Amino acid sequence: MCDRYPTENMCCRFWQPVCFNAQERRTLSKVDLNKNNDSETTIITSQQQPQSRPLWPWILGGALALSLGANLYQSSRTNKLNSDIGSLRQEMSSLKTSMSQSQEAVKQNLATVQETLNATKDEVAKKVDQARYVANRSAAVVDAKWSKQQAERDKKLDTDLAQLRETAQQANEKLASSLTSANGEIGTVKTDVGGVKAEVATTRSELERTVSDLKRIRGDMGEMSGLIATNSKELNALRELGDRVYWDFSLPKNGSVQKVGDVQLMLKKLDPKRNRYTVEVVVDDKHIEKRDKTIDEPVQFYSGARSRQPLEVVVYEIGKDKVVGYLAAPKVQVARNK
């Protein structure tokens, strides 16, 4: 055991019951070497046997070390806890101070707001009083002004009435004079009326003669057509009769669509030598092509599901690059039998 320590004093201090002096051990080993082999063997064997070592010093040292470590750990934890408590107290103190300051600021703000409200109430009361005073004064001024204007209006009305009476009197005098002159002019007017009547009679006679020259033929749908106009003069005569509604048109050869009345017309083919043409009619979203129609031929079609009388397209002039004619439609649409 003493070999573990650097000096023999340390060995003997802790293991005195089993410890040997190093010097005596060295001397004993030299004497033993001179003995016989049997004795030497016995001594060496006895020296090499292990000595018994008690465990309580080790346990005690370990317990002390653990206790010391625990005390140190507990001390450090206590110090940290005390430090945290101190910091928390400081924060609470700061928070109380801040809350006190905030409450004081709120009180001051409330006091300021109350003062502002009181001042505003006083100012509003003053303005209301001023407004009442101004309104009362304005009402008095307006009343006086209105009375003055009313008096001026009455005065002007009297003046206007006087002028009106004078003007009426002058007009009566002038009318009497005019009647005298008119009696002399009535004869002349009667003469002019007679001339107008003669002209009207002549015009009516010409219209009747023109209408009598017109004819009715069957259209391309087999329906008997109305009176057919073969020129613009006859078309005007038909308009004068007022039996139907007429729209005249001039369709170019380029195939552009032209709206005529409630339908659309487009010239698709033109043959001036044979006086024939082909036209497309767009009515009620339907495209109807009328091929190889001749001049003055009624081209008939229906517009509307309940139209009894057909519409007619009549071309009375075929040129090199256009056709001229009209669209005729009945004024009153009669329900057609299904």
- Contact call for residues 305 and 294 (beta carbons, < 8 A): no
The CA distance from 218 to 253, in Å, is 27
pLDDT of residue 52: 61
What tokens appear for 93 in the block? Answer: 């103190």
Radius of gyration, alpha carbons of the chain: 70
Question: DSSP assignment, residue 131?
Answer: H
Pairing assessment for the beta strands 276-283 and 311-318 based on DSSP bridges: unpaired
pLDDT of residue 46: 47
Q: What residues are paired with 324 via a beta bridge?
A: 250, 317
pLDDT of residue 316: 95
pLDDT of residue 189: 54
Distance of CA 154 to CAs 157, 165, 267, 286, Å?
5, 16, 74, 73
The CA distance from 75 to 30, in Å, is 57
pLDDT digits (tens, 9 = 90+) for 239-271: 988 888 999 999 999 889 999 998 999 999 999
- Show the low-confidence residues of the chain (pLDDT under 50): 1-23, 27-28, 30-31, 33, 35-36, 40, 42-46, 48, 213, 305-306, 334-338
The CA distance from 264 to 210, in Å, is 30
pLDDT digits (tens, 9 = 90+) for 57-109: 888 888 889 888 888 888 888 888 888 898 888 888 888 888 888 888 888 88
Handedness of CA 13, 16, 18, 21 (dihedral sign): positive
Sole residue written with tokens 């001749």: 294
Q: What residues are paired with 266 via a beta bridge?
A: 280
